[in-house]
Amino acid sequence: MLNQLFKDQLALGAAQAFITIILALVVMLIASHQQIHIEREVVVALIRGIVQVVAAGLILVVLFQGPQWTSVFVLILMIVAASSIAARRTRDIPGAFLVSLYGISFGAGLVILLMALAGVIEPSLTSLVPVGSMIISNAMNTNAQALERFRADVRNNVGQIETGLALGALPDTMVEPYVQTAVHSSLIPKIDSLSSLGIVWIPGLMSGMILAGTNPVYAAIYQFAVIAMIFASSGLTAVVTTLLVRSRVFSPAKQLTLRPGQEKQTSKKVNPAPVRKTL
């Protein structure tokens, strides 16, 4: 129906985006009716999403006309932005941004570099940036899930951890089970994506390649290669992130600093209560 109403491609895209925004808002209202209040997060995410993706499209139009080496800077900026987003929900973990930056840089950056050198990813702007962005975004999600799970498990087992520390156990030993659980749980979506590929879902990259006239079999194989790269980068990111973060929840005196209900200290000064003079 929209194809008949809008002949201009940009106008058609705007109409399609408007309808999907309405759908997302309806889901938000249904959640609100069930006392699940995500209104602010959804509205902000929708606004940021449409603005950012349109801006990215405009930037890509310019980049695709420039030299190939600019793709490196684009991917670096994506990694920094992804690290900031992933660390946003775990700000109470000291150095969460740096942990995320190191994890995503190692996981996604190493996979992109090796696959580009091997020829799996074409070293061109039109291939390196889109495929690289998919790898980075999935590494970001895995990083955030690993941090969230690790934080939750540590907070829920404060007594057990401190008991072990009091008996002389090393901090790394006490949180090792939670490191393993965080890595495993963060990789479950990626494993499910691999096992359901071609049966439950047909990814957009494969669909786009087929629509562009690529051999469907080759498009399917290349899509598998991309999903495998996403799993590899996510796995490396989760391992590096959890190994780095486990030492940051302890003080130099080997005391656990991550606790339930922990709040950031504010710079607000509290006025002391007036002192009563006694006769």
Q: Do the beta carbons of residue 274 and residue 171 sit within 8 Å?
A: no
Query: Is a pLDDT exceeding 90 seen at residue 232?
Result: yes
**First vs last C-alpha separation in the chain:** 87
Residue 93 carries which DSSP code?
A: S
* pLDDT score, position 204: 67
Which secondary-structure segment (H or E) carries 218? helix 216-245
Taken as a whole, the chain contains a residue count of: 279
How far is it, in rounded angstroms, from Cα 238 to Cα 86?
A: 12
Q: Residues 155-159: contacts with CB within 8 Å, 24+ apart?
A: 155/258, 155/259, 155/260, 156/260, 158/256, 158/259, 158/260
* pLDDT score, position 78: 92
Average pLDDT for residues 91-106, to the nearest whole number?
90
| Percentage of the chain lying above the pLDDT 70 cut | 88
Q: What are the beta bridge partners of residue 256?
A: 250
* pLDDT score, position 220: 80
Q: What is the mean pLDDT of the chain?
A: 83
How far is it, in rounded angstroms, from Cα 115 to Cα 1?
A: 42
- Would you give the distance in Å from CA 274 to the centre of its chain? 50
How far is it, in rounded angstroms, from Cα 127 to Cα 22?
A: 32
Q: What are the beta bridge partners of residue 250?
A: 256
Q: What phi and psi values does residue 38 have, to the nearest 5 degrees?
A: -125, 20
Tokens read off for 30: 């249904």
* pLDDT score, position 103: 94
How far is it, in rounded angstroms, from Cα 270 to Cα 194?
A: 55
* pLDDT score, position 265: 45
Query: Is a pLDDT exceeding 70 seen at residue 58?
Result: yes
Tokens read off for 267: 């710079």
* pLDDT score, position 27: 92
* Environment class of 205 (CB within 10 Å of its CB; exposed 0-12, middle 13-18, buried 19+): middle
Where residue 263 falls among pLDDT bands split at 50, 70, 90?
very low
Q: Do the beta carbons of residue 146 and residue 182 sit within 8 Å?
A: yes
